[in-house]
Amino acid sequence: MRAALYPGSFDPITYGHLDIVRRARKVFDKLTIAVVENPRKGALFSAEERKRLVERALEEVGIEDVPVITYSGLLIECAKALGVVAIVRGLRATSDFDYEFQMALTNRDLDSDIETVFFMTAGTYCFLSSSMVKEVKRYGGDVSKFVPRCVERALEEKFRETA
């Protein structure tokens, strides 16, 4: 079985992320989404909240059989523990490439048996980021084109709490 890991902060998950999930699911027999626990990133949602949001978003858009986990520490260690052959990453623009290239080379140095596979985002989502979604929603904008309804509701609730 060809298994892959799709890691990210998913703070929150967007339609761009879900596009990568759909496409990676066609290439690999099994895909696991890993929500990173990184306290230095200052996420809006906790790792558990993000995990639940990813699960609900997958359900809302009809993507089945994709487990969601949280992890902290080295990504390559998580990948080894899961026995995956690849780490899936999405690329939106050239600005993503430099960071992702460095990360892929580092992961290859740590374990040359695990490949990094890049999926180019669909043109519709090439500008979309979780940060942009949060910023638009924070100021009352409509994000329904960018995220599933469950994510939009969670953002509304979170910003109501922090207001």
The structure tokens listed for 57 are 């978003």
Q: Say whether 52 sits in a helix, a strand or coil.
A: helix
Q: Is 17 a catalytic residue?
A: yes
Q: Give the global pTM.
A: 0.94
Q: Say whether 56 sits in a helix, a strand or coil.
A: helix
Q: Select which of 23, 52, 92, 138 is catalytic.
A: 92
Q: Is 41 a catalytic residue?
A: yes
pLDDT digits (tens, 9 = 90+) for 17-37: 999 999 999 999 999 999 999
Q: Select which of 2, 41, 145, 149 is catalytic.
A: 41
d(C-alpha 80, C-alpha 112), whole Å: 11
Q: Select which of 17, 51, 134, 137 is catalytic.
A: 17
d(C-alpha 78, C-alpha 37), whole Å: 12
In CATH terms, the superfamily for domain 3-162 is HUPs (3.40.50.620)
Looking at residue 137, what is its pLDDT? 96
Q: Select which of 25, 50, 56, 130 is catalytic.
A: 130
> What's the rounded mean pLDDT across residues 59-68?
97
pLDDT digits (tens, 9 = 90+) for 110-152: 999 999 999 998 888 888 999 999 999 999 999 999 999 999 9
Looking at residue 163, what is its pLDDT? 64
